[in-house]
Amino acid sequence: MKLLLIDADFILYRNSAMVFRGNGEVRSGPLTKSFILSVWKIQKQHMADKVILCWDKKPYHKEGEIEEYKGDRVYASDDDVKALNEKAELELDPIKKKEIEDEAWRTNRSIESYKARGETKYSLINSGSGFGMQSVIKKGYEADDLAYLIAHHVHTSETIYDSVILASIDGDWIGFVNPITEYHRTNKAKDVHLYEDEVKKIPEQYRTKVTLAEWHLIHQLYYGNHNGINIDKELKNTYDLESIVNFSADRTTVPDPLKNFFTRLDCMDALNYYDQCKSYLSFLLSAPSGGKIIGEWYTYEETYKTGLWPNVVGAFMKSQNSEAFA
């Protein structure tokens, strides 16, 4: 059986940008409809027997040792909108006044979109499993951490699944492939990464010293990545990548200047939390696929008014070997 793990926060963010274009109303119903249709499209593409939506939940474990982690991301607040509106009222130049008013509108629009995404996210987390939208969310973990742990669990434990698909636009997920797990970039159908190909990208002399995931994580810390991680230039001038890999393979002789590097590395490696998550993952993967009864969708639709036809949801449930159609 095939398990599909989806980077749900990304799909939700991408779809909100499409659904909330222009001056129309911002509410969660249409966004939820768009999200479900996108998930079903990915599920059909891979003919997956079970879909799990992987979500982020702050504060992340990584922030404990990496203070700057994603610290370059700025989020608007209602106070920002208020300040812009007050500034616009005081502006005498009509052109500048219009520019400030437009900025206030865009900022407010961004906040409304954020709130709608939150409502969609948590409505699906709380109710979606009843109609085939099973979620996994755990405080301290990002979606990629959870995908990594689940893929590892399926590979190393007895489960009903013999293959795993990772669906994301985030290239960090590539490091989590294993002999039964593939990475598929959601915005490029032909961008597929297999374990045997990815391992070959590790220089041959390093392949017995680090795993594929460790190789990717070391690269992120050593060279920096899109998560705002600061590059330690002094460390790079002192230690080359080969030294880092050698010390990673044998931590007993790590010099003091590198100890913080490896503390941060361990913090980034979700596999260090596997033992405390193992029973939870077993329970998660033992849950029925596809939902139980189509009636749970009617209850959801009555509350959130997505406009999605029940037969579409029923088809999605059936495609996952749902108990409702057994």
User: Could you list the pLDDT tens digit for every one of the 326 residues in the chain?
Assistant: 899 999 999 999 999 988 888 777 888 999 999 999 999 999 999 999 999 999 999 888 777 766 766 656 667 888 888 988 888 888 889 899 899 999 998 898 889 999 999 999 999 999 988 888 899 999 989 999 999 999 999 999 999 999 999 999 999 999 999 999 999 998 776 799 999 999 999 999 999 999 999 999 998 888 877 666 777 788 888 999 899 999 998 888 888 888 888 888 888 899 999 999 999 999 999 876 655 567 788 888 999 899 988 888 888 877 776 444 44
What single-letter amino acid sits at 87?
Answer: K
The answer to whether the beta carbons of residues 6 and 22 sit under 8 Å apart is no
Token pair for 86: 């007050």
Residue 146 Cα distances to 176, 233, 235, 308, angstroms? 10, 31, 30, 29
112/134 Cα distance (integer angstroms)? 26
* Listed residue (178, 176, 186) closest to 145, CA to CA: 176
Residue 79 Cα distances to 83, 85, 168, angstroms? 6, 10, 33
310/323 Cα distance (integer angstroms)? 17
Q: Which parts of the chain fold into alpha helices (H)?
A: 8-19, 28-46, 78-90, 94-127, 143-156, 195-199, 212-223, 233-238, 241-249, 256-268, 274-286, 295-304, 310-319
Sequence-distant (6+) residues with CB within 8 A of 319 are 40, 43, 44, 290
pLDDT at 61: 77
The answer to whether the beta carbons of residues 129 and 135 sit under 8 Å apart is yes
107/122 Cα distance (integer angstroms)? 23
pLDDT at 85: 87
Question: Considering the entire predicted model, what is its pTM?
Answer: 0.87
pLDDT at 291: 58
| Length of the chain in terms of residues written | 326
| Bond into 59 cis (ω within 30) | yes
Would you call 76 exposed, middle or buried from its count of C-beta atoms within 10 A (0-12, 13-18, 19+)? middle
Residue 77 Cα distances to 28, 59, 98, 111, 247, angstroms? 19, 19, 20, 7, 44
131/124 Cα distance (integer angstroms)? 10
Q: What is the DSSP letter of 11?
A: H
3-state SS, residue 180: coil
285/289 Cα distance (integer angstroms)? 9
- Tell me if the domain spanning 2-74+111-199+278-312 has CATH number 3.40.50.1010: yes
* Listed residue (194, 199, 191, 168) closest to 182, CA to CA: 194
pLDDT at 32: 93
Query: What's the sign of the alpha-carbon dihedral 277, 278, 279, 285?
Result: positive
Residue 231 phi/psi, 5° resolution? -90, 130
Q: What is the DSSP letter of 186?
A: T
270/19 Cα distance (integer angstroms)? 33
